Amino acid sequence: MFALVDGNNFYVSCERAFQPQLEGLPVVVLSNNDGCVVSRSAEAKALGIPMGEPFFRIRPLVAQHGVRVLSSNYALYGDMSRRLMGYLADVAPEVEIYSIDEAFLNLTGMERWLGGLEAYGRRIRREIRQWTHIPTCVGVAPTRTLAKLANRVAKKTPDLEGVLYLDSEEKRQWALEQVAVEDVWGIGHQYAARLHAHGVTTAAQLARVSEAWARKHLGGVVGARLVRELQGVACHSLAPSEDGTLSRQSIACTRTFGQTLTAYPEVLSAVATFTTRAAEKLRRQQSAVQLLTVFISKNRFGVEPPPYTASVTLSLPVATSDTAELIRYARAGLRQIWRPDTAYKKAGVVFDGLEAAGQQQLSLFEPTAQTRQRSKLMVDLDQLNARYGAGSVGFAVAQRYKYSKAPSWAGRKEMRTPAYTTNLEELWRINMDGTLLKSRG
């Protein structure tokens, strides 16, 4: 048996956890640069605000209905996700983190220890709500695809109170009838259009097609496995790491700038900062990177002609998690693709070819003692930043604008709430009478 636990309207729920006055109000959270809607409360959805809609298009609706609009607060969301996933790792034998607000649990053979899995799902939902204030839905089923589908039905059906356990053929058939084929996990727009053309419009109808038909029309063995999963035959398992989480196979840090940039030092500072953030994530999962990609993009809606994006991938001689080394290679990559007198709107770095730290193939000519010293330096760097706050200690090229009001490449976030849990200057303060909570910022 598998379970999928999913945070409802996760970004909005994180904001409401620290601003309970937002409960019951229409709330939307915007993407980087306050560009598009990336999270909506149920009340905002009821107003017809679409996911991904540019903010400027919904301004009249926002003004008309008093919608609360917030900038993304990724430090808060990431920390709340860590708390959610940490709880799940404590209550389930195997956990696979699927996204910032979703995780699969492997509950195979656990019925005898957990009792009824529906009661277990309700306990998970209740305790997450109690400890993090994040509302969730839980879908439990014999396969991952059905667990995902059960979660979706639980979210859309108030009478289920957030939990659906597909423990019988009757429940499975009923749940399949509730889901349109385009909403099945793994069915994209092209396959959905093809299925509709063949008269397959629901998950139940898709589950009834033959394996040969699925192979022919849904991409071979991948489509056949999807259909078998809908029929209740598990074709996919979890791949958790030893600590109950799934290490990332690639790490990326990308941002759209708040303004177009033409000066090389400013773009270099942004790329170095993104490399620093990605390297911190790399070390947290105890990995080293072999392939580093740097890209910079022009504004697609500006006057610059295509191509809009330039990128370069560098193969490192030795896989590393050393921030200084990674910045050095990122700088070399940026130099290769940089074009003077060009206005850039976005940049980023992507780490691929990840290896377990301490097990990578070392250079024949690099002194082992020097490698150990560099590793110890990174440990000390991470400990200092953990103690005194993210970014307290770093490399000069990435700290170029640290003490200015905001880096020239920083995105707009005019409506961002405080980083309540990760920034000492923005922690909540309790008055002596204990009646008022507010941030120090």
Residues in the chain: 441
Question: In this structure, is residue 357 part of a structural domain?
Answer: yes
- Residue found under tokens 């940039």: 261
Torsion angle of C-alpha atoms 68, 253, 384, 419, degrees rounded to 10: 0
Question: What b-and-e string marks burial along 180-213, b requiring 16 or more CB atoms within 10 Å of the CB?
Answer: ebbbbbbbeeebbeebeeeebebbbebbebeeee
Question: In this structure, is residue 50 part of a structural domain?
Answer: yes
Q: Which of 369, 388, 407 is the last residue of a domain?
A: 388
164 and 137 in a single domain? The answer is yes
Q: What is the pTM of this model?
A: 0.77
Q: For position 440, what pLDDT does the model report? A: 45
Q: What are phi and psi of 423, to 5 degrees?
A: -125, 120
| pLDDT tens figures, 244-255 | 445 667 888 988
How far apart CA 380 and CA 348 sit, in angstroms, is 26
Torsion angle of C-alpha atoms 36, 19, 253, 287, degrees rounded to 10: -150
Question: In this structure, is residue 425 part of a structural domain?
Answer: no
Question: In this structure, is residue 353 part of a structural domain?
Answer: yes
Question: What b-and-e string marks burial along 54-70, b requiring 16 or more CB atoms within 10 Å of the CB?
Answer: ebeebeebbeeeebbbb
| pLDDT tens figures, 174-212 | 999 999 999 999 898 899 999 999 999 999 999 999 999
Domain holding 212, by residue range, is 77-231
For the cut 50, the answer to whether the pLDDT of residue 103 exceeds it is yes
| pLDDT tens figures, 352-372 | 888 887 666 666 666 565 667
Question: In this structure, is residue 324 part of a structural domain?
Answer: yes
CATH number at residue 66: 3.40.1170.60
CATH number at residue 193: 3.30.70.270
